[in-house]
Structures are given as C-alpha cells and as structure tokens.
C-alpha cells in the first residue's frame, strides 16, 4: 500500500468487508474515502470489484490519486460531500459504505485544527476550502446555537458553564487556538475524576458536528443512498456518536417496516418493508482492535440489505 495510506487504520475493516460481501465481486460506493483504507480493502477483495469513492475533504483527492494507477479501470474518485451523491449517475450498487468518523489524516494534520493538544488555529472544517471555522462559530453563534452544539451534539454535562466561558472570551485568542480553548475548558471545568478523556473532548465534538452540519447531512444522505442499491445490495454504516447511531438505527427500522421508536404508533400492517436489518445489535470493535487503534473504541456498525 502507498505510504500516503500507511498511517490510516480503517475501523472494523474485516467486519465491513464481510458485511459488504466484497469477495463476491460487484460495484461499490465508499461515501467517506478518508485515507482509502476501506476502498483499498474492497478492491483487494476481488479483481471484479469496482469502487466509486467520494469525500468532501480537498486533500482526499491527493490520497485518491495514489490508488489510480494500482487499481486502473476499477476505481473512480469524486471530491464531493456524500449529500451530493444524488447528482452522481451510478448503476445499481452492490454495496455502500459510510464511515462517519473523522479521518486520521484530518485529526493528525495540525493545520486542520481538530486536536486540542496543538497550538494551531481552531478550524475543524471537513472541507477547509469553504464554510465557517470553529473560531468564527464560537465568536458569532447565538446562545441557543452554542447550547445546541454543546448540550445536544456534544452531550456535554457542563454545557452551561462552557457556554458562559465561550461568550465571556469572545474576541480573545482563547477561542482562536486549539490548545488555548481546550485549556480554558480544562482549567474551569472539572472532569469529576472521569480522567479517561480530555475535559474538552465533548465540546470539540459538538462544535465539529455543528459547523459541518453532520447530523443533517446524514439524515439527507441515507434515503438517497438506499435508492442506489440493487436488490440484495447492502448499506453499511459505521458511526462514532450516539446521535449518529440513533439516526442510522431509526432509518434502518423505517426501511425494514419496523416501529422507528416507542412513539411510533402506526399499525404494523400499514408499514411497507423495503429492507431487512442484518445486525440485531451494532457490531463493535474487539479488544485487540481497540488496543491497536484507540480511536475505534466508540465505533458501531449497522448493516441493511435492500429486498424491495
């Protein structure tokens, strides 16, 4: 594998390949190319596989170029967000993969502003060629928008205090640099002995979800992608956040003609069944994978097969 891909560790790789039936040959879409780990594995699984890959990160194109020669005629890349997949002309697909985690390349690139350990500009955009940076969001968002990011998206228990800290530090360097912002939270908010994660982890996560519109993008993309599957085709989604997983779970249940949640009182006979759920419970990484790649610890994979 190319050196540009070596530092990337795709999550639940073996499980995803089995879920996609990648060894049988077919046409696949990797909606989150990232470092190309899953795409490469699909292409290596069978010489009869063709993979379309997309990613909104402008830097992903360079990584995709590394695969063009090795898999000539079997790989195509498009630099777009997966919400734009409805604009792609694709023949019915045998499998679609969505890995919703931030790629290792984005996390490890200091200039991208995702890491609270680096003295670098607080950015956090998946597509750093457009849109609002994290600093711009922190300095201009309404109080309600900050609460939504911290309490709802980040599921941060100390959202009230952190919201006040943000508003009180507007215009200062503490909201401009990753390490300064993380330290502001760490100094002022107790982690109550939880110790395993940095006190700013959930805040960073919530802000990232907010500025990239990640949950709305997922809601929009799932039905579009499902329609691109052939009969028997499978949609495989790996999520890293409880809100993402809930969206995926509810969509899968809707497609399978099941009650979406406890508030869903529509009679079963009125529900139409378009798919079957192949994962009663989400697939999660084993202890060995978590030890090798700690970033995989929160991953959950769900699989849906189209039947109608």
32 and 52 in contact (C-beta within 8 Å)?
A: no
Which two tokens mark 50?
């063709």
Q: Report the C-alpha gap between 32 and 8 in whole angstroms.
A: 13
Percent composition of the chain: helix, strand, coil (DSSP 3-state, to 5) = 45, 15, 40
* pLDDT score for 105: 65
Q: Which helix (H) or strand (E) holds 232?
A: strand 229-239
CATH topology (fold) of 108-212? DNA polymerase; domain 1 (1.10.150)
Cα angle: 120, vertex 124, 125; to 5 degrees:
130
Q: Report the C-alpha gap between 95 and 27 in whole angstroms.
A: 7
* pLDDT score for 175: 97
Widest pairwise Cα distance in the chain: 59
Q: Where in the chain is the domain with CATH 1.10.150.170?
A: 108-212
Tens-digit pLDDT string for the chain (308 aa): 333 444 568 999 999 999 999 999 999 999 999 889 999 999 999 999 999 999 988 888 888 998 988 999 999 999 999 989 888 888 899 999 999 987 666 666 667 767 777 899 999 998 888 899 999 999 999 999 999 999 999 999 999 999 999 999 999 999 999 999 999 999 999 765 555 688 999 999 999 999 999 999 999 999 999 999 999 999 999 999 999 999 999 999 999 999 999 888 888 888 999 999 999 999 999 999 999 988 899 999 999 999 99
Of 81, 8, 13, 3, nearest in space to 301 by CA: 13
Which two tokens mark 177?
């640099």
* pLDDT score for 6: 43
Which two tokens mark 52?
């379309």
Q: Where in the chain is the domain with CATH 3.40.50.150?
A: 3-105+214-306
Give Cα separations from 17 to 45, 145, 198, 242 (angstroms): 8, 39, 33, 23
* pLDDT score for 58: 85
How far is residue 17 CA from its own chain's centroid? 18
Burial class (CB in 10 A: 0-12, 13-18, 19+), 96: buried
Q: How would DSSP label each residue in 270-286?
A: G----EEES-SS-B---
Statement: 3-105+214-306 belongs to CATH 3.30.70.100: no
């Amino acid at each position: 594998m190319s050196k540009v891909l070596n530092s990337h560790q795709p999550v639940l790789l073996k499980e995803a390949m089995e879920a996609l039936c990648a060894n049988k040959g077919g046409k696949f879409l990797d909606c989150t190319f990232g470092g190309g780990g899953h795409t490469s594995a699909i292409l290596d699984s069978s010489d009869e596989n063709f993979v379309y890959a997309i990613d909104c990160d402008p830097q992903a194109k360079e990584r995709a170029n590394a695969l063009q020669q090795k898999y000539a005629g079997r790989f195509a890349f498009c630099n777009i967000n997966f919400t734009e997949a409805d604009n792609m002309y694709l023949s019915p697909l045998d499998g679609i993969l969505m890995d919703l985690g931030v790629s290792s390349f984005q996390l490890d690139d200091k200039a991208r502003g995702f890491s609270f350990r680096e003295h670098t500009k607080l950015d956090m955009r998946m597509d750093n060629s457009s849109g609002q940076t994290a600093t711009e969001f922190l300095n201009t968002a309404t109080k309600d928008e900050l609460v939504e990011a911290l309490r709802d998206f980040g599921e941060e228990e100390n959202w009230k205090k952190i919201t006040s800290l943000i508003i009180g530090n507007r215009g200062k360097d503490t909201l401009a640099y990753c390490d300064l912002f993380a330290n502001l939270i760490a100094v002022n908010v107790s982690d109550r002995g939880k110790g395993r994660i940095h006190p700013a982890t959930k805040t960073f996560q919530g802000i990232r979800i907010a500025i990239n519109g990640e949950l709305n993008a997922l809601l929009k993309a799932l039905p579009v992608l499902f329609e691109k599957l052939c009969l028997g085709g499978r949609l495989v989604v790996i999520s890293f956040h409880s809100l993402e997983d809930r969206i995926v779970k509810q969509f899968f249940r809707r497609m399978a003609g099941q009650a979406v949640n406890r508030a869903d009182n529509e009679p079963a006979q009125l529900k139409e069944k378009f798919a079957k759920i192949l994962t009663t419970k989400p697939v999660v990484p084993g202890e060995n994978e978590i030890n090798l790649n700690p970033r995989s610890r929160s991953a959950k994979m769900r699989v849906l097969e189209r039947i109608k």
